[in-house]
Amino acid sequence: MASSPELSSLVAAAPADKPLLAVLRGERRDPPPLWMMRQAGRYLPEYRALRATRDGFLGLAYDPEAAAEVTLQPLRRFAFDGAILFSDILIVPHAIGQHLEFVAGEGPRLSPPLANASLDDLQPVLERLDPIYGTVRRVKAALSPQTTFLGFAGSPWTVATYMVAGQGSREQSEARRFAYADPVRFQAIIERIEEVTLTYLSGQIEAGVDALQLFDSWSGSLAPAEFERWVIAPTARLVSALKQRYPHIPIIGFPKGAGGKLAAYARLTGVDAIGLDETVDPVWANAELPAGLPIQGNLDPLALIAGGEMLRNAVERILDAFAGRPHVFNLGHGIQQDTPIDHVDQLVALVKGTPR
């Protein structure tokens, strides 16, 4: 029987199914959707070739055409359900007014470090956010309707650690000392980061992302009371402000290293999903985190490098642990640059292969 014009119109108007977005909104899918942190990056030969044509990492991130190409590259190889914006968490301090450069072999440098400079001396340059919105628009126009587009930013604590020290550090000692010694000044830094991050993420949403991830890569370095003050409270304020503007946009919180503090983070921040790092036992997480809360993770990136039976066993353990709740399969941190391409193919086959 031929469909009526009215039915055809309804079908055409129906939104495309986005499995990843559905899970972030609380629906369980079988098999679970899959994406990988840092999936657009150095393990891909096509990324290395493009990077070689640009003047460093920052030149690549601020080139909307090139950054969009990098964002799309992994989707041409693998059956991922999500695209993650190619950018960097330090775009926010750059917009706040610190000088940013990436030193070959050493990583990012921000100047002046706020450990010995005043926040008030920085002159905001919010125009530095504009190229990122251009990247989002280009990617959105090119994505499959079934692919969820993830924007992101660093959470205030993690961004503050870089702004205070001027670079990354193993234990975030300078920022932790600063927060204890002068919590009023440190609070002012956190609030400035919140303000610009709200602007930045709102711009990403307006340009076309479907969901957001907040990376708190250094949350694990804080004592419990400091974790509540500098991780949970700023994240909760930022999530609340975003939800007031965009209640339909899911937010993933990724407090790396939080361990036993994950349950409090889940209860108090208001995020829609929790990303787990590779050190978290998935069986424990499934038992301790709120029932029905979507969980993302948490394969050890080194298990992906190992491949073979070790990878199979690790994937099975995670899939079994989260079989009864909304789950997004992901790594527990970013993919390593020496990861073999065929091991990623194996991972996709393992996750997508057998309904559970």
Tell me the pLDDT tens digit for each residue of 183-207: 999 999 999 999 999 999 999 999 9
List, in sequence order, every residue forming a beta bridge with 161; answer none if it has no partner: none
Q: Do residues 232 and 267 touch, judged by C-beta distance below 8 A?
A: no
Residue 313 has a CB neighbour count (10 Å cut-off) of 11
Which of 43, 47, 162, 265 is flagged as catalytic?
A: 162
User: pLDDT class for 14, splitting at 50, 70, 90?
Assistant: low
pLDDT tens per residue, range 17-60: 999 999 999 999 999 999 999 999 999 999 999 999 988 899 99
Instruction: Identify whether 112 is preceded by a cis peptide bond (ω within 30 of 0).
Output: yes
Instruction: Note if 170 is an active site residue.
Output: no
Out of 28, 51, 137, 312, which one is annotated catalytic?
51
* Reported pTM: 0.94
Q: 130 catalytic, yes or no?
A: no
- 51 tagged catalytic: yes
Give the pLDDT of residue 355: 54
54 catalytic residue (yes or no): no
Which one from 25, 28, 29, 42 is the annotated catalytic residue?
Answer: 42
The reply to whether 88 belongs to the active site is: yes
Question: Catalytic: which of 81, 88, 216, 300?
Answer: 88
Q: What are the distances in angstroms from CA 141 to CA 135, 153, 209?
A: 10, 21, 11
Domains and CATH numbers, the chain: 19-353 (3.20.20.210)
50 SS3 class? helix
